[in-house]
Amino acid sequence: MRINDQIELADWELVESFVRASGPGGQNVNKVATAVELRFAAQRSPHLTDAVKRRLKRLAGQRWNSEGELVIFVQETRSQQRNREIARDRLRQLVHKATVVPKRRIATRPTYGSVKRRLEGKKARSDVKKLRGKIEE
């Protein structure tokens, strides 16, 4: 499976299993295993760098298991083939998103004018609230 020009995942890294899906579908649901569970051995993959693996683990969240596998479960359609395509597409998108290096945040300070305006606004609001008190005679 090709992710981009540099990354192509081998077939041995992907394991697909088919199980019965829940939800609507009549008797078809009880007979045919249409739901797809796609497992990608991401931690052992030689095609991904360590940085990409770390980002992929963070992006995957609960879909990342203790063996270092990314598990994608799809049961959206009644077609096994369509569910399989959706699962592979989701994997492709997730790995592609993990290849993007996030921009480093450069710490900045607020301008003198913006600090002054903020404090003036707070002072004005404080004055309004002070005027709500009881009037003393």
Q: What is the pLDDT of residues 13-62, one digit of tens each?
A: 788 888 888 776 667 777 788 889 999 988 888 888 899 899 999 998 89
Q: Mean pLDDT over residues 97-104, rounded?
A: 90
3-state SS assignment for residue 134 = coil
Query: H helices then E strands: how many in the chain?
Result: 4, 3
Provide the whole-model pTM: 0.69
Distance CA 67, CA 78 (A): 30
Q: Enumerate residues 6+ apart whose C-beta is below 8 A from 30.
A: 20
CATH class of the domain comprising 11-99? alpha beta
Give me the count of residues in the chain. Answer: 137
